[in-house]
């Protein structure tokens, strides 16, 4: 008899963003005449920049010629892209990352979800609370988390590190030592950034305890302040304790194109085994590589024109963040984030839960955001808005919320 992976039955409801999409679709069906403004899922709205489009066209043309055609690519990704990343994202920031330590993929979500596969079942997993749900859900699917506990609002075997207004949404070093520590900075959902000193403490802690940090740096392009790391490898000793995941989605508008990468340093060894080798083995077995034309588009992100065009694109989202932050503050809300991140984390009005606030915004002013509770128990009482809308829609959403 076929048996199923019963761990899936332990998942708490639907995937957060699918749940929201479902609720919004149901509302839209009943109110076809209303204009809904979506500031829920962090999906970009600006078109691909010209340098990227040109690279896509050129690579597509190339693939249509006998000389330029390519079949399966190198499983770790094309050297032209890995070398460009090693130089531009790492060497230029003083980090010593070799192109061989970079694994190209179709985006950070898959990588942050899959990375747990190279670790044993018994590892104690630590996550921030609130947290991007993929980290927890994928460990639930793998049977590493125990059951969902209605009383605590979390899984029994997960170590939740509360990120609250009191600690500036930066987790404290835990009393119990975790094996795997998921960190995401600039943070999704709170928009908080971690100082280099604070991140160095985590790196030292992981090295002292033999833990591995799984560092999601998908939002590094939004850092505006000094003293904040774009990569965990800016901290000394990070190569012996950290894996870093990066994405082209938010810094280059690739949410629909799909491209990302994971860095697993050669020095990262546990139980005498190289984690780079394990991840390489998994990658080679389960993945046939991001499309050549998309990897060429990724390369164009680092060209002189690409960088200038993307700087302007990110500036639009940063301006949206400023508009939301200032607008909500003026309207009397307490708002965090939005300075080094494209996410705004606002307190819901007193006595209104985050899902109630979601309903109010949707039904009264047709603005979609993400209820903080969907990111974890400590997200209750908060609501996330993204800065990825168009400028026009962002301004209109703000106007509507202020009216409400």
Interaction site with ligand MLT (CB under 6 A): 41-43, 109, 132, 188
Question: CB of 385: closest distance to ligand MLT in angstroms?
Answer: 11
Residues in contact with 53: Cβ distance below 8 Å, sequence separation at least 6, in sequence order: none
247: three-class secondary structure by DSSP: strand
User: Minimum Å distance from CB 43 to ligand MLT?
Assistant: 6
What is the smallest separation between the CB atom of 188 and ligand MLT, expressed in angstroms?
Answer: 5
* Least gap, CB of 57 to ligand MLT (angstroms): 26
Closer of 219 and 357 to ligand MLT (Cβ):
219
Nearer to ligand MLT, 292 or 343 (CB): 343
**Rounded to an integer, what is the distance from CA 323 to the centroid of its chain?**
22
CA atoms 83, 89, 91, 96: torsion sign: negative
Residue closer to ligand MLT, measured from CB, 132 or 336: 132
Q: Measured from the CB atom, is 113 or 291 closer to ligand MLT?
A: 113
Between 42 and 306, name the residue whose CB sits nearer to ligand MLT.
Answer: 42
Please tell me the distance from the alpha carbon of residue 26 to that of residue 184, in angstroms, as a whole number.
32
Cα 222 to Cα 186: distance, rounded to the nearest angstrom:
8
| C-alpha to C-alpha distance for 66 and 177, rounded to whole angstroms | 56
Min separation Cβ 42 and ligand MLT, Å: 3
Whichever of 42 and 253 has its CB closer to ligand MLT, that residue is: 42
Minimum Å gap between C-beta 251 and ligand MLT is 12
- The pairing of strands 367-368 and 37-38 is parallel
Cβ distance to ligand MLT smaller for residue 116 or 211 = 116
Count the Cβ atoms, other than its own, within 10 Å of residue 171: 23
CB of residue 221 to ligand MLT, shortest distance in Å = 14
If the CB atoms of residues 41 and 55 are measured against ligand MLT, the closer one turns out to be 41
Dist. CA 20–CA 10, nearest whole Å: 20
Give me the residue whose beta carbon is nearest to ligand MLT.
Answer: 42
**CB 218, min distance to ligand MLT, A:** 7
b or e along 195-217 (b: 16 or more beta carbons within 10 Å of the residue's beta carbon)? beebbbebbbbbbeeebbbbbbb
Strands 370-371 vs 382-386: parallel, antiparallel or unpaired = antiparallel
Contact 56, 63 (CB under 8 A): no
Specify whether the CB–CB gap between 377 and 363 falls below 8 A: no
C-alpha 283/C-alpha 114 separation (Å) is 10
CB nearer ligand MLT, residue 132 or residue 317: 132
Smallest gap from residue 88 Cβ to ligand MLT (A): 22
DSSP class per residue in 258-325: --EEEE--TT-EETTEEHHHHHHHHHHHH---S-HHHHHHHHHHTSHHHHHHHHHHHHHHHHHHHHHH
């Amino acid at each position: 008899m076929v048996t199923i992976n019963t761990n899936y039955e332990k998942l708490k409801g639907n995937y957060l963003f699918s749940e929201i999409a479902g609720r919004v679709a149901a509302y839209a069906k009943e109110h076809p005449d209303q204009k809904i403004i979506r500031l829920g899922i962090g999906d970009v709205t600006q078109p691909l920049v010209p340098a990227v489009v040109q690279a896509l066209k050129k690579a597509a043309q190339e693939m249509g010629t006998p000389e330029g055609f390519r079949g399966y690519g190198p499983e770790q990704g094309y050297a032209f892209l890995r070398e460009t990343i090693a130089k531009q994202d790492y060497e230029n920031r003083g980090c010593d990352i070799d192109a061989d330590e970079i694994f190209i993929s179709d985006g950070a979500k898959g990588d942050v979800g899959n990375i747990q596969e190279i670790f044993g079942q018994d590892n104690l997993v630590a996550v921030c609370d609130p947290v991007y749900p993929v980290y927890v859900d994928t460990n639930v699917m793998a049977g590493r988390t125990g059951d969902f506990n209605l009383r605590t609002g979390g899984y029994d075997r997960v170590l939740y590190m509360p990120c609250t207004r009191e600690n500036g949404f930066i987790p404290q070093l835990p009393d119990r030592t975790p094996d795997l520590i998921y960190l995401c900075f600039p943070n999704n959902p709170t928009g908080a950034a971690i100082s280099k000193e604070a991140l160095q403490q985590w790196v030292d802690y992981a090295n002292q305890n033999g833990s591995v940090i799984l560092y999601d740096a998908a939002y590094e392009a939004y850092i505006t302040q000094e003293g904040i790391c774009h990569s965990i490898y800016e901290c000394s000793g990070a190569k012996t304790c950290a894996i870093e995941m990066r994405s082209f989605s938010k810094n280059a508008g690739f949410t629909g194109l799909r491209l990302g990468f994971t860095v697993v340093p050669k020095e990262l060894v546990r139980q005498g085994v190289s984690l780079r080798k394990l991840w390489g083995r998994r990658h080679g077995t389960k993945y046939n590589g991001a499309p050549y034309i998309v990897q060429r588009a990724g390369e164009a992100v680092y060209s002189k024109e690409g960088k200038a065009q993307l700087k302007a694109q990110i500036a639009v989202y940063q301006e949206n963040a400023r508009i939301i932050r200032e607008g909500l503050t003026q309207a009397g809300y307490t708002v965090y984030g939005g300075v080094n991140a494209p996410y705004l984390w606002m307190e819901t009005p007193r006595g209104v839960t985050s899902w109630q606030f979601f309903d109010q915004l949707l039904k009264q002013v047709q603005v979609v955001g993400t209820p903080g509770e969907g990111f974890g128990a400590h997200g209750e009482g908060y609501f996330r808005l993204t800065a990825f809308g168009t400028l026009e829609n962002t301004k209109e959403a703000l106007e509507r919320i202020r009216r409400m």
